[in-house]
A and B are shown apart, each in its own frame.
Chain A
Amino acid sequence: EDKVVQSPLSLVVHEGDTVTLNCSYEVTNFRSLLWYKQEKKAPTFLFMLTSSGIEKKSGRLSSILDKKELFSILNITATQTGDSAIYLCAVEADNYGQNFVFGPGTRLSVLP
Chain B
Amino acid sequence: DGGITQSPKYLFRKEGQNVTLSCEQNLNHDAMYWYRQDPGQGLRLIYYSQIVNDFQKGDIAEGYSVSREKKESFPLTVTSAQKNPTAFYLCASSPGTSGRASRGTGELFFGEGSRLTVL
Contacts and interface: CB of A to CB of B under 8 A. Distances in A.
Interface stretch (B18-26, B35-43, B62-70): B35-43
A97 B98 CA distance: 10
Interface in B1-42: 31, 33, 35, 40-42
Contacts of B110: 42-44
Main secondary structure of the interface of A (DSSP, over half): strand
Interface residues of B, number: 27
Contacts of B83: none
B56 to A, nearest CB: 7
Contact of B108 (A41, A90, A103): A90
Interface in B84-105: 90, 92, 94, 96-97, 103-105
A2 B97 CA distance: 19
B42 A98 contact: no
Contact of A34 (B33, B44, B50, B107): B107
Contact of A92 (B45, B56, B104, B113): B104
Interface of B: 31, 33, 35, 40-45, 48, 50, 56, 90, 92, 94, 96-97, 103-108, 110-113
